[in-house]
Amino acid sequence: MSDDQDEYAESLETEFQKLEDALLSDTVRLLAPSEPLKLAADATVQDAIMKMVGNRRAAVVIVDEAGRLTGIFTERDVLTRIVGESREPAKTRLGDVMTREPEALTPGDRICYAINRMHNAGYRTVPLVDPDHRPIGIVTVNDVVRWLAEIFPDAVLHLPPGDRLKNPLQMDAG
């Protein structure tokens, strides 16, 4: 091995150790989850869609009268449970199409657990709850990617020549 390859291998080992340490010690609260958009089960899907679009969010959480989490409705649900089943958003209640009793995270859960749940269960959006099961945030895949970018700023900030960045304020389908 050349000296350059040895140096590169050492650098990679250091970076991987840094990631492993962060995964095993950092908690979900470091992801700075966004404030949840809350609706009641009797609100319409149209209400939810308008709230999601107006706030550029991927989900709303459904709460009971005491403010406890009872469901979640995501952009994926719009496609599969509304459009895919030819339902009318203005006439469909969230309670009829939400995911009931969704899995939730707490601020003290480790980020590795959040990633485990997102990966194994296929979640892109997970509610964050307090000890009384009241929603206090929403953790998204984007939150995890932002956290990774903070751990590895050089890999993100020092792109090779020719790479282009998308305007982050530009809406797209992704």
- Dist. CA 84–CA 158, nearest whole Å: 42
Kindly list the distances between the CA atom of residue 82 and the CA atoms of 57, 119, 149, in Å, as whole numbers in the listed order. 18, 25, 35
In a domain, 74, yes or no: yes
What is the count of structural domains for the chain? 1
In a domain, 57, yes or no: yes
Name the phi and psi angles at 62, rounded to 5.
-105, 130
In a domain, 162, yes or no: no
For every one of its 174 residues, what pLDDT tens digit does the chain have, with 9 covering 90 and above? 566 556 656 666 777 777 788 888 899 999 988 999 999 999 999 999 999 999 999 999 999 999 999 999 999 999 999 999 999 999 999 999 999 999 999 999 999 999 999 999 999 999 999 999 999 999 999 999 998 888 877 666 665 566 555 555 565 555
In a domain, 16, yes or no: no
In a domain, 32, yes or no: yes
Write out the residue range of the structural domain in which residue 74 sits. 25-157
In a domain, 8, yes or no: no
- Dist. CA 167–CA 34, nearest whole Å: 21
pTM of the predicted protein model: 0.80
Name the phi and psi angles at 159, rounded to 5.
-75, 150
- Dist. CA 60–CA 41, nearest whole Å: 11
CATH number (domain holding residue 122): 3.10.580.10
